[in-house]
Amino acid sequence: MMKILVTGGAGFIGSNFVCYLLREHPDWEVTNLDKLTYAGNLENLGDVEGNPGYHFVKGDITDRELVDKLLGQGFDVVVNFAAESHVDRSILDSSPFIRTNVQGTQVLLEGARQHKVKLFLQVSTDEVYGSLGAPGKFTEESPLLPNSPYAASKAAADCLCRAYYHTYGLPVVITRCSNNYGPFQFPEKLIPLVITNALESKEIPVYGDGLNVRDWIHVEDHCRALDLIIQQGKPGEIYNIGGNCEETNLQLVHCILAIMGKPRSLITFVADRPGHDRRYALETSKIERELGWRPAILLGEGLRGTVQWYIQNQSWWQRVKSGEYVEYYERMYSQRAGSG
Ligand code: NAD
Ligand code: TDX
């Protein structure tokens, strides 16, 4: 039996992870602490509703009192997904990124230290390494050179985690994963944006020349890696997690349109993201060697399943693509037009 506190478990990766854990370990107890921002959605957790091993607490990771009280219940592991996660939003306003991603991580680390948690797993990102111009890949030893306010806030959180390990001996593991895709991803991110716009026969905005490269991993493969790390990861270590699957944005969009039988004429080239990282690629031999993990879902297969999911769950994404979402897009594009 393991008692786990998952933060941000109502978001894309967090909700997939909560469902994954309770499916794989029916005797574990999982508590989900989530503020339910625009990106948090309890509908993502329908599969575990009513499961006696699942508990939900609505709250903010920056709330010291709440975090202290919760961790006082005695948890073996904290898995920190809670974050502001969208690069474009961090360019519009970085303050919530600093509050949640940096201050929130510090509050959780402090609570974990006070209450002697056995493992603090920080879910970080390849974006902390910055952009790769030349061939090669980022290793766990690559310097942290974040380029967006989002990446800078995640790098700061990684540094705090490292400091809590070295200063207080808190058993911390940091994971740095590449671009995830799969069910329940909020349609502000590239893949669900392309799928849902194509389903509505709307324009598909591709930033700049479309030749920026990302490494893509299915969320289920990411969840499996995190589960392995909970069981076998070594405190103080960093693990890169990647799909070993690099594509330019344009190649990826063409592939999705081909799966959906939609025309490439939907693609519209738009002003580039300021400070847009050119390429991410991760060296993942450490987790492969030490934990025997490898991605199992090929991109084509994963994309077909994801397209199918968005076709079957139109009411889910139609609800979230309204209100605040529409206002955000108007603000973002008017700012870019102004600065372009
Ligand atoms: P998401 O935006 O879909 O979900 C974030 C969740 O955190 C939401 O449920 C939101 O309500 C919650 N949250 C936000 N602020 C909070 C606060 N102050 N207190 C409590 N809960 C709060 O994000 P995601 O794509 O699922 O990413 C999850 C984590 O994984 C993030 O830490 C992100 O940096 C990291 N990550 C994401 C990717 C990716 O491709 N999506 C890749 C690597 C790492
Ligand atoms: O409309 C778009 N058009 C476009 O060309 C959007 C939303 C994105 N893009 C480009 C920008 C990137 O090169 O597609 C690529 C992927 O963009 P995002 O989906 O916004 O992801 P990215 O910026 O790469 O960051 C993601 O991966 C690392 C997640 O959002 C982060 O949370 C994670 O840490």
Gap between the Cα atoms of 43 and 59, Å rounded: 17
pLDDT in tens, 10-69: 999 999 999 999 999 999 999 999 999 999 999 999 999 999 999 999 999 999 999 999
Q: Which atom of ligand 2 is nearest to the CA of 212?
A: 13
- 210 contacts 249 by C-beta, under 8 angstroms: yes
Task: Please tell me the distance from the alpha carbon of residue 249 to that of residue 259, in angstroms, as a whole number.
Answer: 16
Cβ neighbors of 19 (< 8 A, separation 6 or more) are: 45, 47, 48
Q: Whole-model pTM?
A: 0.98
* C-beta 183 within 6 A of ligand 1: no
pLDDT of 340 > 90? The answer is no
- Mean of the per-residue pLDDT values of the chain: 97
Question: Is 185 within a domain?
Answer: no
Question: Can you tell me which atom of ligand 1 is nearest the CA of 60?
Answer: 19
The Cα 56–Cα 33 span in angstroms is 6
CB 279 within 8 A of CB 133: yes
State the alpha helices, DSSP H only, in the chain.
12-24, 64-71, 87-92, 95-97, 105-114, 149-168, 190-199, 219-232, 249-260, 285-291, 299-312, 314-320, 324-339
Question: Which of 13, 87, 128, when mutated, tests ligand 2's pocket best, judged by the most ligand atoms within 8 Å of its CB?
Answer: 87
- For residue 264, the CA-to-ligand 1 centroid distance in Å is 31
Average pLDDT over residues 262-273: 98
Residue 168 lies in a domain: yes
CA 164 to ligand 1 centroid distance, Å: 22
Q: Which residues line ligand 2 (CB under 6 A)?
A: 85-87, 125, 127, 179, 189-190, 193, 205-207, 212, 214, 249, 273
Percent of the chain with pLDDT over 90: 96
CATH number of the domain where residue 44 is located? 3.40.50.720
pLDDT of residue 337: 83
Confidence of residue 232 (pLDDT cuts 50, 70, 90): very high
Q: At what angle do helices 219-232 and 12-24 cross, to 10 degrees?
A: 60
Instruction: Output the pLDDT for position 89.
Output: 97
Ligand 2 atom 21 nearest Cα: 189
Domain count, the chain: 1
Q: What percent of the chain has a predicted confidence (pLDDT) above 70?
A: 99
Measured from the Cα of 127, ligand 1's closest atom is: 43
Give a yes or no: residue 303 inside a domain.
Answer: no
Cβ(45) – ligand 1 distance below 6 Å: no
In which domain, by residue range, is 87 found? 3-178+218-241
Q: 51 and 22 in contact (C-beta within 8 Å)?
A: yes
pLDDT in the model for residue 339? 67
User: Rounded to whole angstroms, how far apart are CA atoms 62 and 65?
Assistant: 9
Within a domain: residue 162?
A: yes
Domain assignment of residue 122, yes or no: yes
204 is a domain residue = no
Distance of CA 11 from the midpoint of ligand 1 (Å): 6
Give the residue, by CA position, lying nearest to ligand 2 atom 26: 179
Per-residue pLDDT tens for 287-317? 999 999 999 999 999 999 999 999 999 999 9
Q: What's the confidence (pLDDT) of residue 338?
A: 77
CA distance 154 to 261: 38
Report which listed range, 96-105, 130-139, 325-334, is most confident.
96-105
What is the reported pLDDT for 335?
A: 87
pLDDT in tens, 59-116: 999 999 999 999 999 999 999 999 999 999 999 999 999 999 999 999 999 999 999 9
* β-bridge partners, 123: 175
* 309 occurs within a structural domain: no
CA quadruple 46, 47, 52, 55: dihedral sign = negative
pLDDT at position 114: 98
Whether 172 maps to a domain, the answer reads yes
Expressed in angstroms and rounded, the spacing between residue 189 Cα and the centre of ligand 2 is 6
